Amino acid sequence: MIGKELKQNMKKACALFATLLLTLPAALRAAEVKPNLIFILADDLGYAELGCYGQKVIQTPHLDGMAREGLRFTQFYSGATVCAPSRSVLMTGKHHGHTRVRGNAGVANPEAQALRAGDVTVAAVLQKAGYKTALIGKWGLGDVGAADCGLPRKHGFDFFLGFLNQIHAHNHFPDYLWRNEEKLELPNKVTPLGNLGGGYAPEGKVYADDLFADEALKFVAANKERPFFLYWSMVVPHANNERTKELKDGTEVPDYGPYADKDWPKPDKGQAAMISRMDGYVGRMLAELRRLGLAERTLVIFTSDNGPHNESNHDLTRFKPSGPFSGIKRSLTDGGIRVPCLAWWPGTVKPGSVSAHAAYFGDWLATAAELAGATAPAGLDSLSFASTLRGSAQAQHEFLCWEFHEGGFKQAALYQGRWKGIRAGGPAASVVLHDLQNDPAEQVDVAAQQPEIAAKIGVYLQTARSPLPEWEPRWQAGKKKAPAGNR
């Protein structure tokens, strides 16, 4: 009798426990589960080249849907206004004045564009925390040869497929890619141009970003039972600069899609088609996460490495890629560094939310570490925006900063998320000051009206960078010019 009652009581206790588990909030039930992290990076995509950021011509239904289902940042900044240093900031969590790679050095000085053994990346932090890590797409922070200290698998990635060299990545139909440290030969027949590794394929068969999309989906499916970090670094919509010089059309895409019948020049059709194709890749990934039952366990970030380019010979006035901001890639005004950023995490990120929190690429390391329960290295310029993702107030940087080494050294800083200072001409030169709150296009210099703020930014810029022999400032305009094709 006692045994029977004991069994009945145990059954009741088990039923009660099961009921409690079912009624616990989803976030609490998943508290011990490390989220999967996917960081999708477009290449040279402008702030306003997506419909959810005001684009009227180019179709981006999947990314617009991602914004409706997630969070849209309105003041998110890239790490730099050009490729390599922006990616260095993203990987290291150190701002442009502290990170290892501070410009596009190319073949002239490959070691200056490579991470070193002591540089700790977000991938290495997550790998140590038990994540399976992969980089699929463009790297740009170390090539084979003298700079192989910067190869992806030496900096926390378990798997790599893509381009090591950014000039090689100009060609969307390459004759080879890298799979880890081995060449993966492709059937494209390339016409080489210049001595920087560039070229184009007149009749391309394998489109690199199509291959990357397939590989990204395979990686997610293969690692669905364990936490993973995927850095999916697309090449679209970057121009093929060599093709622009040779054929006056730097866009490369298998077809023009919905723009085939438009009465537009080919470069305009190609630019729009590249962005819509990119949109389709993201749509495939979100659908796959749902199919695999991973959506509520996966944070997906989508953004761009810098502002829009003008290197395909396409018409910027047709697409207005910088939106309300002035400048494009290579500008330190917001058109060159303010980028679209979407965060998607069903069950955690509130659908249709918008955040004006001022964040930047360097914040990804602290954010990923917090979400993974990992310890971030000391000495970073990185503040987690995990609370912003969950809809709470978030601490903000007092300063963000950028620099640019082409055509004479320049610096810029954002103060309190509102005041933008730009300095060129020398370390003692006056700061041009803009009030982004009232002048997002940065047309009016208000330094005379706000001398204390201009002075504060000026003092900050004098100490904002650590010395690095490969990237010492050369202020004289025109003394330092980017090598041809090194974009």
The residues spanned by each domain of the chain are 31-397, 402-471
* Alpha carbon distance 188, 191 (integer Å): 10
What is the CATH code for 402-471?
Answer: 3.30.1120
* Alpha carbon distance 235, 167 (integer Å): 11
Instruction: Identify residue 476 by its one-letter amino acid code.
Output: Q
What is the CATH code for 31-397?
Answer: 3.40.720.10
**Residue 244 — very low, low, confident or very high, per pLDDT cuts 50/70/90?**
very high
Q: Which two tokens stand for residue 278?
A: 């990119």
Q: Report the C-alpha dihedral over residues 377, 415, 39, 351, rounded to 10 degrees.
A: 120
**Residue 197 — very low, low, confident or very high, per pLDDT cuts 50/70/90?**
confident
**Residue 63 — very low, low, confident or very high, per pLDDT cuts 50/70/90?**
very high
Beta strands in 164-287 (DSSP E): 176-179, 182-185, 191-193, 198-200, 228-233
Q: Is the pLDDT of residue 486 over 70?
A: no
The string of pLDDT tens digits covering residues 90-105 is 999 999 999 999 999 8
**H or E element: which one contains 163?**
strand 159-163
Give the distance, in angstroms, between the CA of residue 310 and the centroid of all CA atoms in the same chain.
Answer: 19
With a threshold of 0.75, does the pTM exceed it? Answer: yes
Strand partners, 159: 134
Strand 410-415 and strand 399-404: the pairing is: antiparallel
pLDDT of residue 108: 76
Instruction: Identify residue 190 by its one-letter amino acid code.
Output: V
* Alpha carbon distance 169, 106 (integer Å): 12
* Alpha carbon distance 163, 173 (integer Å): 12
Q: Is the pLDDT of residue 146 over 90?
A: no
Long-range interactions of 429-436: CB distance < 8 A, separation 24+? 430/454, 430/458, 431/455, 431/457, 431/458, 431/461, 433/457, 434/333, 436/334
pLDDT of residue 21: 46
pLDDT of residue 10: 55
Long-range interactions of 394-399: CB distance < 8 A, separation 24+? 394/357, 396/357, 396/358, 396/359, 397/358, 397/360, 399/457, 399/460, 399/464
Cβ atoms 231, 39 nearer than 8 A: yes
The string of pLDDT tens digits covering residues 318-366 is 999 999 999 999 999 999 999 999 999 999 999 999 999 999 999 999 9
Q: Is the pLDDT of residue 18 over 90?
A: no
The dihedrals phi and psi of 46, each to the nearest 5 degrees, come to -75, 160
* Alpha carbon distance 365, 371 (integer Å): 10
The string of pLDDT tens digits covering residues 401-448 is 999 999 999 999 999 999 999 999 999 999 999 999 999 999 999 999
CA distances from 299 to 25, 63, 278 (A): 18, 15, 19
Cβ atoms 70, 340 nearer than 8 A: no
